[in-house]
Amino acid sequence: MRALTVRPGTAGTLAVQDVPDPEPGADDLLVEGLALGVCGTDKEIVRGDYGWAPDGPDRGDRLVLGHESLGRVVRAPADSGLAAGDLVAGVVRRPDPVPCGACAHGEWDMCRNGRYTERGIKQLDGYGSERWTVPAQYAVRVADHLGIAGVLTEPTSVVAKAWEQVDRVGERAWFEPRRALVTGAGPIGLLAAMIGVQRGLDVHVLDLVADGPKPDLVRDLGATYHHSSIEEIARTARPDVVLEATGVGKLVFDAMAATTPYGVVCLTGVSSTGRRQTIDAGGLNRDLVLENDVVVGSVNANLRHYRAAADALAAADLPWLERLITRRVPLEEAAAAFEAGPEDVKVVIELAGSGERAGRA
């Protein structure tokens, strides 16, 4: 079968190559790969800036790329609750082998020792192949009607975790948020806005662009699109919650200062180090203290968040979800998926042959 591979640490090594078919173990699902979402982490790996190949001989230091998965079950263990024909998405991270206390409790997204592994990123082959296997306990069912939009399960899991973090830190005392600001209208920001609207919040989204598909995607959710400044939104919309999805240093600190008292800022954007910035450290600290504000970082997701993501997608407007997928690239032309297009929101690589394209299955 064909797989999308890369040699982590070396730019220019992305390739579609023949690899042996996977052999499912007794507890594994055998899955026909349908689609693969491409995100910033994948681009970092393709540039040679991130990622680790699995150990083992004859690997040639190659990693099968891809962690935003969608597939159709070919064969499932009898007691797995899944059956041939079901749409599924695979979980990315696996617990560290020690395990740390968090991993021992199924919360590998909160791993303490960094020895976790990740499909398509860190020491485990990803989901970028025509067939793949996954332990049934690390797969979630995706609603049949979603079709290719089910490939949004993994990014939605990241957002479902972020919202859970907002709830859990918010609920340390009385908490009834009404207004949320999402900074950044990429896939994470848009999916965060979608869940915010599902929760009945008055959602505001801030991005730089005034054209392309993003403003309409936000408005069609019932949210408000802004391309002004965060200070302006802080004054007019007075958000109780800020979900930061850009990783831009200035926005991160502006977000901390933008909330109402008892504000919660959830950071989800992974930024580069070394972006130095001069801030009023005393004033920021004073605000955080006197307003009982919280800043919480959130990354990755565990099974609870994947299930919440599958539920959120199942409840969403399908045509809206399909509009997030702005470009589809066949596996043989996968390299094109890693070049940014001006109107891209989410680019997806289609893995199934022409006879079984996702969304038409």
Q: How many residues belong to the site for its own copies (CB under 8 A)?
A: 61
97 cis-preceded (ω within 30 degrees of 0):
no
| DSSP per-residue string spanning 80-143 | SS--TT-EEEE--EE--SS--HHHHTT-GGG-SSS--EEETTBEE--S-BSEEEEEGGGEEEE-
The rounded distance, in Å, linking the Cα atoms of 44 and 230 is 28
Give the whole-angstrom CA distance, residue 250 versus residue 274.
Answer: 13
Figure out which of the listed residues 59, 235, 275, 360 binds its own copies, where binding follows CB under 8 A: 275
Interface pattern 205-244 for its own copies (x via CB under 8 A): ----------------------------------------
Asked if 271 interacts with its own copies (CB under 8 A), we say yes
Rg (CA), the chain: 20
Which amino acid type is present at position 170?
Answer: G
> Please, which residue, 132 or 163, has the CB nearer to its own copies?
163
**26 lines the binding site for its own copies (CB under 8 A):** no
If the CB atoms of residues 217 and 301 are measured against its own copies, the closer one turns out to be: 301
- Please name the amino acid found at residue 158: V
Q: Does 52 sit near its own copies (CB under 8 A)?
A: no
Closest CA to 8 of 37, 49, 43, 40: 49
Residue 320 touching its own copies (CB under 8 A): no
When asked if residue 276 is in the footprint of its own copies (CB under 8 A), the reply is: yes
Binder of its own copies out of 25, 228, 277, 342 (CB under 8 A): 277
- Quick note: the x/- pattern for its own copies over 126-165, rule CB under 8 A, is --------------------------------------xx
Q: Is residue 40 near its own copies by the rule CB under 8 A?
A: no
Q: Which of 78, 174, 200, 340 binds its own copies (CB under 8 A)?
A: 174
Residues 6 or more apart from 243 whose CB is under 8 A from it? 159, 162, 163, 166, 180, 181, 182, 183, 189, 192, 196, 266, 268
Please give the residue ranges that form the binding site for its own copies (CB under 8 A): 101-102, 104-105, 107, 109-114, 164-165, 168-169, 171-174, 176, 247, 249-250, 252-253, 260-262, 267-299
